[in-house]
Every structure is written in C-alpha cells, then in structure tokens.
Amino acid sequence: MKSGTGYFKFGLRQYNCLCMLFFLGLCASCTPKVYQKSDYTFYDRTFRLDASTVLRTDGVYVLDHIWTKENGGTVRQPKEHRFYKFYSTGQCNLTLDPSNEIKTKANYLTAINKDFTSKNSTLFEGYYKLENHRIIIQAVVVPRRQFEYKYGYSEQDTLVLVQTTTQGNGKFDDRYFTGAYKEYYVFLPLEIKEENEPQW
C-alpha cells in the first residue's frame, strides 16, 4: 500500500511538472518577441548612407498627402499625422502623432530625440535599403510576428511610398514599385546635432 501511494505521488508530481511546462510554454508564445538587430535581414553593421543620395537624415519626412487612382486620380489629405526619421547607419523610425501635438520644429526634435535615446522598442522601427532612387523599408508587424516591406522611391526632398506588403522579401522587383496608392512625405529640415547609431 505504501509503495502504491508513493507511486501515485510520483506520478502526480510528474503530471504537475508537465502541466507547468506546458503553461510556461503557452505564456512564452503569447509574449511579444523583442526583435534584435540580427533578426532583421536588412541589418548591415557596415552600412553608411552615401553622401550623394537624395535621401536625407538631417530632418524628418512628414506625410503631406495621399494619391489614389480613384476617379482618374484623387489627392486627399491624411487623417493621421506621421513622419519618418532616417539614420545614416541604415535605421529608420516611423512616428505616429494621432493627437496632432507635434507642430513645431522643436516638437519634432523632442520626439526624435526621445526615440533615439530610448532603449525600448518603438514598434515602428526598422531598416532600409536603397537602389538608386528606390527604397525598401523593413519593419515588423508585431501581432503577426512577421516582416512587412514598404516599397517606394525618393526624390528631391520627397519620399513616396507605393506599397506595403509582406510579399517580395525586400527585393528590388519592379512590380512592387507601382500601385494605385501613394503616400507623399515632404522633407522638413531640422537642426540635428551629430548622431550616433540608434539603440535598435
């Protein structure tokens, strides 16, 4: 009888351990992944932006208007204030301002300095690649834990994003640089001091 009770206790202990391991595994799978530099295929520690490119890092690109192919071409104003900051070491960051609180150059500087010095993920950070005037931005879709790619091109003081998709694997394929929807970001120069590499 004693040996049977001992066997039962041992079996129950094993069962409890298995349940605990299953629970911990379930919790781990629900925890948002914190992406590291090495997770991004676009990450290149040797990357330095060529000084001859039209893409600028001494300010921000602010969403100005959106073009769609509807009715032969329609231009509309964005419902949400947003802007991109690019870094010469290959990183970029998208800042959303749904309350439209960022208005002055000082406000923009405060916002990008906060992102720059923060050691936490911003959720909209990423890396970019250039090929002539074309650009691809690699970022993470957090809920789905997969990469998305924004395809577009840069002009003088303007960034145009044409497609956002999980397709293409970040390759410079012509089919991803055309579309019926375009976001136009206008460059706003800022007095930015010399920057080091961002935290991400």
What six digits make up the tokens of 147?
């990469």
Residue 125 contacts residue 92 (beta carbons within 8 Å): yes
pTM over cut 0.75: yes
Q: Please give the pLDDT value at position 32.
A: 46
Q: Please give the pLDDT value at position 132.
A: 93
Specify the higher pLDDT residue, 181 or 38: 181
32-36, 40-44, 66-70: which has the minimum mean pLDDT? 32-36
Phi–psi pair at 187, nearest 5 degrees: -75, 135
Tell me the mean pLDDT in the region 89-100.
94
Containing H/E element for 191?
A: none
Containing H/E element for 140?
A: strand 134-141
User: Does residue 123 register a pLDDT over 50?
Assistant: yes
How far is Cα 146 from Cα 57, in angstroms, rounded to an integer? 27
Tell me the mean pLDDT in the region 143-151.
85
- What integer best gives the mean pLDDT of the chain? 83
Per-residue DSSP letter, 88: T
Residue 60 contacts residue 84 (beta carbons within 8 Å): yes
In a 13 Å sphere around the CA of 52, the CA atoms on its Cβ side amount to 2
Residue 153 contacts residue 53 (beta carbons within 8 Å): no
Q: Please give the pLDDT value at position 107.
A: 96
6-10, 141-145, 171-175, 183-187: which has the minimum mean pLDDT? 6-10
Polymer length in residues for the chain: 200
User: Does residue 19 register a pLDDT over 70?
Assistant: no
User: Does residue 96 register a pLDDT over 70?
Assistant: yes
Residue spans of the domains in the chain: they are 1-31, 37-189
SS3 81: strand
User: Does residue 55 register a pLDDT over 90?
Assistant: yes
Handedness of CA 100, 105, 107, 111 (dihedral sign): positive
User: Does residue 118 register a pLDDT over 90?
Assistant: no
How far is Cα 147 from Cα 125, in angstroms, rounded to an integer? 12
* CATH number of 37-189, picked from 2.40.128, 1.10.3470, 2.40.50, 1.10.10: 2.40.128
User: Does residue 66 register a pLDDT over 80?
Assistant: yes
Q: Please give the pLDDT value at position 30.
A: 44
Per-residue DSSP letter, 71: G
